[in-house]
């Protein structure tokens, strides 16, 4: 089977790192490049972190591009309180052997979509949607060329994790999210409603560490740091492993359940800024624009995640 071509747009983040590792370990996927965006930490950190993760995986062949350093219209909000000062707290930082690419991430997205056959490239945003929105605004011709967008962002029944109403990725740049959800591209959305069901329990992290290879050991260390905040916040054994759900859906969508809905992004209210308003119960006549995932076989997810990271 021909691998599915993807671009990972990301703001690493330990869970972003987990998603990158899962993608690089999976023969079903061809990662054309990784585009960094400001989000969990500033752009200088996210671009460095993406390169560190590729090198940990032994995949310095994958190019990394720096993109937007701020949201379209707002001041950047970051999440060091969750991810630590580096964004990858839990592992030792180093300068990767492969330098950052000279091209801007938005230009890379545009050029990749134009260079590949129509509807053969899937975009996988794991952070704020600034780079994707900028690409769509700058080059509207590429919108029809996108095969699919599979993103981690939003929440509905679970509410928000940065405000009572908003999930972090959407809250950071709601205007960008509004552009992306309104573009007409097929979207699969991994909201908090599903990511809160894949918890990095002690047993699962121990199984990951037992792989014994560098990527698994480094990821286990990252998760031990990352989960502390969420364990205190939610009172759970382990924290949600948000971003790898995007990659897992591409590999094995049958482990997930959801429904096609209309999703609108709130940009005008101080109280609910960044909320993803999901018409789950079909109470409006607004057009469906996203497959909203709500359920997952968590054991199947972690079986896949642990086995694949063992291949790196």
Question: Residue 266 is encoded by which pair of tokens?
Answer: 């709130």
- Helical H segments across the chain, by residue range: 14-24, 43-56, 80-83, 105-115, 130-138, 168-172, 174-181, 192-195, 202-209, 214-234, 244-251, 298-309
Check 83, 148, 196, 242 and give the catalytic one. Answer: 242
* Other residues' Cβ atoms within 10 Å of the Cβ of residue 110: 19
242 is annotated as an active-site residue: yes
- Tell me: cis bond preceding 39? Omega within 30 of 0 counts: no
Of 268, 242, 221, nearest to 93 by C-alpha is 221
Q: Which residues of 51-77 are buried (b: 16+ CB within 10 A; e: fewer)?
A: bbbbbbbebeebbbbbbbebbbebebe
Catalytic residue set? 242
């Amino acid at each position: 089977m021909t691998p599915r071509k993807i671009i990972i747009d990301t703001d690493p983040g330990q869970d972003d790192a987990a998603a990158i590792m899962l993608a690089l370990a999976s023969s079903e996927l061809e990662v054309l490049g990784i585009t960094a965006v400001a989000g969990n930490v500033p752009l200088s950190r996210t671009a460095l972190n993406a390169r560190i993760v590729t090198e940990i995986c032994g995949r310095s062949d994958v190019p990394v591009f720096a993109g937007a350093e701020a949201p379209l219209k707002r001041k950047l909000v970051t999440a060091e309180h969750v991810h630590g000062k580096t964004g990858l707290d839990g592992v030792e930082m180093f300068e990767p052997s492969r330098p950052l690419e000279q091209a801007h991430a938005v230009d890379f997205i545009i050029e990749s979509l134009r260079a590949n056959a129509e509807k053969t490239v899937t975009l996988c945003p794991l952070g704020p949607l600034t780079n994707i929105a900028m690409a769509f605004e700058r080059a509207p011709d590429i919108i029809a060329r996108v095969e699919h967008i599979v993103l981690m962002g939003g929440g509905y029944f679970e509410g928000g994790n940065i405000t009572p109403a908003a999930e972090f990725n959407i809250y950071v740049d709601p205007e960008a999210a509004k552009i992306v959800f309104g573009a007409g591209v097929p979207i699969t959305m991994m909201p908090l409603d599903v990511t809160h069901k894949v918890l990095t329990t002690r047993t699962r992290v121990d199984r990951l560490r037992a792989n014994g290879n560098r990527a698994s050991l480094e990821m286990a260390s990252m998760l031990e740091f990352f989960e502390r905040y969420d364990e205190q916040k939610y009172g759970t054994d382990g924290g949600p492993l948000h971003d790898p759900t995007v990659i897992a859906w591409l590999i094995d969508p049958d482990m997930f359940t959801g429904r096609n809905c209309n999703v609108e992004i709130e940009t005008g209210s101080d109280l609910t800024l960044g909320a993803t308003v999901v018409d789950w119960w079909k109470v409006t006549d607004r057009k469906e624009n996203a497959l909203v995932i709500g359920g997952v076989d968590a054991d199947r997810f972690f079986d896949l995640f642990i086995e694949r990271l063992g291949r790196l």
